[in-house]
Amino acid sequence: MTAEHDGSTEVTPSPSDWVARQAELYESSGGTKGTTQLGVPCLLMDYVGRRSGAVRRTVLMYGRDGEDYLIVASNGGSDRPPLWYLNLQAHPEVELRVETERFGAVAATLPAEEKARVWPGLVELFPRYGEYQAGTDRDIPVIRLTRRRDGGAGAAGRTTAHRRTSGGEYAGGKAAASPSGALPRAVHSAIMTMETVLPDPSALGGPALFDTMSTMRAMRRLTADPVPDETVERLIQAAVWGPSGGNMQRYEYVVVTDRQVMARLAPLWKRCVDAYLATTGKHAPEGMDEAAYGRMVAAIEHQRDHFADTPVLIIPCYRFPEPRLDEEGLAASARALGPEGTQRMMETQTRFQALAEGSCVYPGVQNLLLAARGLGLAANITIWHLMLEQEWKRELGIPEEMNTFAAIPVGWPAGNFGPVRRRPVADVIHRDRW
């Protein structure tokens, strides 16, 4: 089946919101904006769904081999290929936009000998590919996209109708070289696709969000590459969308990106981590084998030793306002709770206050972590800064009356996203009573 269509055909955008937004910006600007990811040039690819027959669109980083374009079906090192690759196997004719030029192309997976020729260059330019391949038994394919010489439009043709439109440029670092410019190497640059972060919901039997949650491991190994301010603000926006008790919205977020400030925080982080590893973190949790725990500790120590290179650190803060109470209200509360309940309430007031504040903060933190995963960022939540909270607050100028609830390092992952390992649902449900 070929999938050429005219300008009235709808194009289904990516289920990943940020990919869809970048694709819309790329297309609506005529290929003058949104053309890079992490400083690497990217292209738009329209292809046909093997089951639905719908024309789909994604944004992919690309490399060059002569006049051809190279993309890699890495899926972040997963044991299963990205869905777009399965669709290309069924329908290899695609339509590309590379900056301001749009043309049809044919996709073909490189045979082993050709992959062997270009793979070292890809790994040199984007070292994570070596890690991805080492972490899976799947042979990660490299796909060649060759321009059609018959003038055909490929999978998508020129389209103006979309099921979803949204603006907002993805800030991806330095500008890429023109696809028609001179190339210093056979492989112009490595390719990484974030499209597979949120696979097609229909393939998962549920919403795309479920795939995000099920692959949201604590990622402690970060590159030193900066995260654009616009991307950081999107994380905070996701956090602000979280619920807050009484809708009081008393949260504040300290965002650290300055290298000198991060360097001053690094000794504090080290002291807290060392104290944790000497006590609570000294032994593997029940049910976790020593080898797996050893790998987790190694990641914690790596983050400790490279903390000064952390691109972003986010400190969520919250402070309840002083309660407005009167004698009539206190008396009514005592009658409702009864003498025993009132006494317990008085004894647990400190815990109640802490949990009440936490319940206003941590939903937003979870939103932030989900947003980071959806944007291809690594993050993990920690609270061991509380061991030295006063020193952290002094270093960051946080008011004494403001409480801090986490320290969240964020950056581009140096490792692989992958499935989380959790207890079976059947083991944790108590139906109707304990």
For residue 4, being part of any structural domain is answered with no
**Per-residue pLDDT tens digits for 297-339:** 999 999 999 999 999 999 999 887 777 778 888 888 889 988 8
For residue 433, being part of any structural domain is answered with no
List the helix and strand counts (H, then E) for the chain: 13, 13
* Confidence (pLDDT) at 152: 57
For residue 379, being part of any structural domain is answered with yes
Regions of the chain short of the pLDDT cut 70: 1-9, 38-39, 125, 151-208
Asked whether the beta carbons of 36 and 176 are under 8 A apart, the reply is: yes
Location of structure tokens 């919901």: 201
* Euclidean distance between CA atoms 240 and 364, whole angstroms: 6
Both 372 and 409 in one domain: the answer is: yes
* Euclidean distance between CA atoms 377 and 134, whole angstroms: 21
Both 374 and 325 in one domain: the answer is: yes
Both 198 and 335 in one domain: the answer is: no
* Euclidean distance between CA atoms 361 and 379, whole angstroms: 17
Both 244 and 300 in one domain: the answer is: yes
Question: Among 147, 173, 205, where does a domain finish?
Answer: 205
Both 246 and 310 in one domain: the answer is: yes
> How many domains does the chain contain in total?
2
For residue 189, being part of any structural domain is answered with yes
For residue 381, being part of any structural domain is answered with yes
* Confidence (pLDDT) at 35: 86
For residue 340, being part of any structural domain is answered with yes
* Confidence (pLDDT) at 187: 37
Nearest Cα to Cα of residue 98 among 184, 189, 194: 189
For residue 11, being part of any structural domain is answered with no
* Confidence (pLDDT) at 192: 34
Asked whether the beta carbons of 143 and 109 are under 8 A apart, the reply is: yes
Element (H, E) at 394: helix 389-396
Q: How much is the CA Rg of the chain, to the nearest whole Å? A: 25
Total Cβ atoms within 10 A of residue 333: 13
CA dihedral 417, 422, 426, 428 (to 10 degrees): -130
Question: Among 178, 205, 232, where does a domain finish?
Answer: 205
* CATH code where residue 139 lies: 2.30.110.10
Both 196 and 222 in one domain: the answer is: no
Both 193 and 95 in one domain: the answer is: yes
Both 38 and 187 in one domain: the answer is: yes
* CATH code where residue 391 lies: 3.40.109.10
Both 245 and 131 in one domain: the answer is: no
First to last CA, the chain: 57
Nearest Cα to Cα of residue 194 among 419, 21, 10: 21
Q: Which domain holds residue 146?
A: 17-205
Both 83 and 126 in one domain: the answer is: yes
Both 357 and 250 in one domain: the answer is: yes
Both 272 and 237 in one domain: the answer is: yes
What is the pTM (predicted TM-score) of this model?
Answer: 0.54
* Euclidean distance between CA atoms 208 and 202, whole angstroms: 8
Q: What is the identity of the amino acid at 38?
A: L
Question: Among 151, 177, 205, where does a domain finish?
Answer: 205
For residue 23, being part of any structural domain is answered with yes
Question: Three-state DSSP class for 56?
Answer: strand
